[in-house]
Amino acid sequence: MAGESHGIRSIFAAIRTAPMPLKTSADRPAEPKPFVTISRQGGAGGRAIAQRLVARLNALDPGEEPWAVWDKQLVEKIAEDHKIARELVESLGESSRTWLEEFLAALSIDSDETEARIYQMVASTIRALAHKGRVVIVGRGGVYITRSMPGGVHLRLVAPVEYRARHMADQLKVSYDEALSHVRKLDKQRAAFYRKYWPSKALTVEAFTLTINTAMVSEEQAVESALPLILPRIRFTIEQVPEPELAV
C-alpha cells in the first residue's frame, strides 16, 4: 500500500509540474465583429445619423477595413448579387400593395412567394455583412435578422409624428401636410412588414440596445450616446492603444 500511495503522489506531482499546452489562434473561436443596426420611424433621421456615426467611428477606430453605412447601398448590393431589379428589393416593407404585387397578380404569379424569396435574399445579405463586421445597417428588419449574432448594437430612432413630418418636409421639399401623410403611410407599412415576418416579436424598446428620441437630442448627441455601447465591442491591438505617460 505504501508503494501504491507513493506512486499516486508521484503522478499528482507530475501533473502539477507539467507545462499546460497553450491554445493557438486556430483553437480559439473567432472574435465576433462589431456591427450596428438602426431601426427608425419614418422621418426620425436614420440615414443622417448613420452617416455621422460611421464618420465618428472611422475617426476613433481607423482600421484596415473602414466602417460603412448600408442603407441604399444594401438595396443595390442585393440587386447586384442576386441579379434582380433594385425596385423589387426597395419595395419590400415599404408598400402595403406594391407595384410588384399588382404586376405579378396580372401574370397569375404568387406575389407572397416572390416577396418571401426576396426577403430571404435580404436576410442572408444582412447576416453576411454583420458577420464581416464594421457596418451600420439601416432598416430592413436588421435588428431581428441579426438578433442572435454577437457583437451587435441595436439602435431605435423615434420622435413625435409632428416632428418627423416637419423633418420629412424639409428633406423632400414638400408641404407639411404631404410629409405628414407620407410619414403615417411609412409607419403603417413598416409595422405591417414587422408583423408579417416576425409575428411573435413586438417592436418594443426591449428589442433594442438603445432607443433615442431624435426630437429631444441633436444628431451629434445621438451619435455620442451610442458610442459608449459600440466602442467596448471593438478590440484594439497593442499598436492602437497609446502607451501611458509615466509620472516624472
Tell me what the mean pLDDT of segment 19-32 comes to: 55
- Give the pTM: 0.73
pLDDT for 32-74, tens place per residue?
Answer: 789 999 999 989 988 899 999 999 999 998 877 899 999 888 8
CA 66 to mean position of chain CA atoms: 16
What is the domain partition of the chain in residue ranges? 30-73+134-233
Going by pLDDT thresholds of 50, 70 and 90, the confidence category of residue 154 is: very high
Torsion of the alpha carbons at 149, 152, 157 and 158, rounded to the nearest 10: 50
Q: How confident is the model at residue 7 (pLDDT cuts 50, 70, 90)?
A: low
Average pLDDT rounded to a whole number, residues 99-106? 48
What pLDDT shows up at residue 2?
54
Distance CA(143)–CA(129), nearest Å, equals 13
- b/e burial code for range 162-183 (CB count within 10 A of at least 16 → b): ebbbbbbbeeeeeeeeebbebb
CATH numeric code, 30-73+134-233: 3.40.50.300
